[in-house]
Amino acid sequence: MKQIIAIVLLIAAIVGLVAFSFTIKQVDQEEKRLSVDLQHRSTLLAESLRETVEPNFINKSDEYLQTVVEKFANRERLAGLAIYDNKGKVIAVSSNLPKDNSDSQKIVADAMDGDNANGDFVKLEENKMYVFAVPLHDKTSVVGSLIVVQNARYIDTRLQEIWKNNLLRLFLQILLLSIAAILFLRWIIFRPMHNLVESLKLSRSGNKSPNIPNSPFFQPLVKEITNMNRSLIQAQLAASEEARLSLEKIDSPWTAERLKQFVKDILKGRTIIVVSNREPYIHTKNGNKIDYFFPASGMVTAIEPVMQATGGTWIAHGSGDADKLVVDENNSIQVPPDDPKYTLKRVWLTEEEEKGYYYGFSNEALYPLCLNAHTRPIFSQEDYDEYKKVNAKFAKTVLSEIKNLKKPIVCIQDFHFALLPRMIKNARPDATIGLFWHVPWVSPESFSICPWKKELLDGMLGADLIGFHTQLHCNNFIETVGRELESLIDFEQFTVTRGEHISLIKPFPISIAFSNHEEKPDDEQLEIEKKKLLKNLGIEVKYIGIGVDRLDYTKGILERIKAIELFLKKYTEYRGEFTFIQIAPPSKSKIKKYQEFAQAVEKEVERVNLLYKIKNWKPIVLIKKLHTHKELNQYYKLANVCLVTSLHDGMNLVAKEFAAARSDEKGVLILSQFTGASKEFKDALIVNPYSGEQTSEAIYTALIMPLSEQTKRMKKLRNSVKNHNIYRWSAEFLKTMVSLG
């Protein structure tokens, strides 16, 4: 639409410019023609009248002269006559003309002084007139002057008519040309182009492609796209066949295509429904436009590639201020917006529900309880009531979505929906339900302080499969169930039987997508991009550290800042040579504890920067802005060291993102021993984040580590992510679910 408007405006500008140029020229020519014609008629009339007036003027017959001038008053374009003596005194004048007019008197004076006819346009009583004067003579000298006054308003009227007619003609030309251009562009250009784009989209998504339009304007392009389309379909078929064959090879890498083929084989037409609080795409208003962004969430980072590979429906809370503007009547939208692969169905929550369920019970009770990060959980009956209410609302949405499905598969994500599995299972016993808990599970003693522990555990045990990141979390959960609920626990199979329902408890270390076809990085290009990014940040140092976390008190950001302070205090040679970039987008900023934490981080950064600042250098750059994965990869690639110092974490995917981004096999990862990732990443520098001295020493070790040692460690980290990526995680989780139902 913008292109059409631009083209129409361009046509209007060109046609308007041409029309105005010709109109100005036409008006100028017409004005000159009419003026010359008026002057000519005035001259003829004045000369003919002078022969009558001159003898009577000499004889001083004033009455006769007045009779003469009155005869020529108000005759169409002739306004009247006037006769002056050589002293400028009016001898006779038509009754409708003013006797005193300075402009007329000046013309008369010039005619008599020069003894020559003289004329010009003047204003008489706000009317445009042409005054023409000829001198009157006796035998030897000029004795007076005769003036002819012509009405010249018709000249302006004629010029206005020309402008009016030409502007009307211009408007009609622009209108007709614009309509013709719009029709031409829409049916001859844009419609075929749109069909070509849709054809390629369908081919790329693996659907049957429609016939490509046979437009005469795009014959060469259509031919090439047809060939490319055919090649793309063949490549997809080859990839699907390769993925099918790779299922039989245990050691072959897991890819999106292999997962797609795997799901197709094991599900046999069954539909996957994913449920989470956080949605993968959030639509927001930006003036008159609607934009979208990908939220900062480890859960979304992990699950979104799976949904793109498997399709299905993702049910989540619609939190964006433009979310309602883009959904259909079923509150659904196809995503990703630029390349739809699956359906996002949004659930709307009231402000009271969001406050109690999300900010209250989920994030002020369950989150600090499970993360065990020395923040006292706040338990409120009102918040728990809202939590139950919202879980029931999501259950209703899920049941509506699966009402016509046989043996549906429902994958529920995280601690926001502990009650949801039981609600769905009670209504649809045939549904296979999986619950993945993205945060740790604490010891039975720690969990026992929750007033609604039995209800939460019973709700979770409505799932057929309950997954955690590590075996330790599985152990803690099953011990908690043993202490709190009447149930039968099988420690060999790691199952819990409650009533007649069996729940399998199993670890599934989550991961990220990993490209198996990365090209060797261009060192020169990487260096150019690094310098450009650092220049934009005003950083000129030899060594860069990076931290990427939500502003969350469990991420160990304050402890990390303290470690950097200790590092610079001990290793003074790195002052002015090392800068740590902390990317920390705001998180849950409506919760007082998070507001206080954000302020504490800002104060600590400011304190350390003031302590060690040298001229334009400061040790820590805090960026409180949400970044895309592509932008984060740029930061990961330029860093010499990445610090992941969570005080407690289920997995922490930043560690895996850093390794995946380092295709140059350089850089060092410093990793907290309290993250799930530390169980897999033995080649990172493992630290206790509570010890600032230990973390500061790890920073020093990382910066002096030889490139050969960095490469050795990074290869192992990357192989771990490559061999245990999100596609493999999803395959194992879904395979286990299918085996249970």
pLDDT value at 248 more than 50:
no
Please name the amino acid found at residue 103. D
Stronger pLDDT, 398 or 27, i.e. the higher one: 398
Band of pLDDT at residue 244, cut at 50, 70 and 90: low
Alpha-carbon separation of residue 652 from 247, 410, 472 (angstroms): 29, 24, 16
8 Å CB contact between 149 and 130: yes
What is the Cα–Cα distance from 39 to 528, expressed in whole angstroms? 77
126-134: average pLDDT:
87
pLDDT value at 227 more than 70:
no
Strand ranges across the sheet with 127-137: 90-93, 78-85, 142-151, 127-137, 118-124
Instruction: Give the pLDDT score at 256.
Output: 83
Contact partners, residue 738, CB within 8 Å, separation at least 6: 266, 267, 270, 409, 432
Stronger pLDDT, 154 or 184, i.e. the higher one: 154
Q: What's the CATH class of domain 2-158?
A: alpha beta
Nearest to 83 by CA among 53, 111, 106: 53
pLDDT tens readout for residues 652-696: 999 999 999 999 999 999 999 999 999 999 999 999 999 999 999
Query: Backbone phi, then psi, for 483, in 5-degree steps?
Result: -85, -30
Place of tokens 């995280």: 414
pLDDT tens readout for residues 423-436: 999 999 999 999 99
Alpha-carbon separation of residue 62 from 84, 96, 164 (angstroms): 11, 18, 47
Instruction: Give the pLDDT score at 187.
Output: 73
Structure tokens at 431: 């549904």
pLDDT tens readout for residues 135-156: 988 877 888 898 898 888 888 8
DSSP category for residue 82: E
What is the Cα–Cα distance from 292 to 337, expressed in whole angstroms? 9
Contact partners, residue 168, CB within 8 Å, separation at least 6: none
pLDDT tens readout for residues 325-374: 999 999 999 999 888 889 999 999 999 999 999 999 999 999 999 998 77
Give me the chain's average pLDDT, please: 88
What is the Cα–Cα distance from 479 to 456, expressed in whole angstroms? 15
CATH number of 272-456+465-507: 3.40.50.2000
730 backbone φψ class: left, alpha, beta (φ>0; ψ -120 to 50): alpha
- Burial (CB < 10 A; 0-12, 13-18, 19+), residue 595, is middle
Instruction: Give the pLDDT score at 539.
Output: 92
Instruction: Give the pLDDT score at 717.
Output: 97
What angle do the packed helices 629-638 and 653-661 form, to 10 degrees? 70
- SS3 for 401-464 is HCCCCCCCEEEEECHHHCCHHHHHHHHCCCCEEEEECCCCCCCHHHHCCCCCHHHHHHHHCCCC
Q: Which residues pair with 325 in a beta bridge?
A: none
Helix, strand, coil abundance in the chain, percent, nearest 5: 55, 20, 30
579-607: average pLDDT:
94
At 268, which helix (H) or strand (E)?
none
CATH number of 523-724: 3.40.50.2000
Instruction: Give the pLDDT score at 617.
Output: 94
Instruction: Give the pLDDT score at 213.
Output: 55
Place of tokens 């790195």: 574
% of the chain surpassing 90 pLDDT: 54
Nearest to 111 by CA among 138, 140, 137, 74: 137
pLDDT tens readout for residues 269-284: 888 999 999 999 999 9
- Across 121-125, 208-212, 594-598, the highest mean pLDDT is recorded for 594-598
Place of tokens 């008026």: 38
Place of tokens 């040298």: 614
Nearest to 134 by CA among 73, 79, 57, 77: 57
| Identical topology for domains 2-158 and 272-456+465-507 | no
Number of C-beta neighbours around residue 516 at 10 A = 12
What is the Cα–Cα distance from 343 to 15, expressed in whole angstroms? 48
Instruction: Give the pLDDT score at 482.
Output: 96
Stronger pLDDT, 184 or 693, i.e. the higher one: 693
Instruction: Give the pLDDT score at 228.
Output: 62
Instruction: Give the pLDDT score at 263.
Output: 85
8 Å CB contact between 129 and 123: yes
What is the Cα–Cα distance from 19 to 95, expressed in whole angstroms? 45
pLDDT tens readout for residues 486-531: 999 999 999 999 999 999 999 999 999 886 655 566 677 778 888 8
Stronger pLDDT, 195 or 652, i.e. the higher one: 652
How many CA atoms are closer than 13 Å to the CA of 304, on its beta-carbon side? 16
**Could you tell me the residue ranges of all domains in the chain?**
2-158, 272-456+465-507, 523-724
What is the Cα–Cα distance from 436 to 473, expressed in whole angstroms? 12
pLDDT value at 395 more than 90:
yes
Among 65-69, 264-268, 708-712, 717-721, the range scoring the smallest mean pLDDT is 65-69
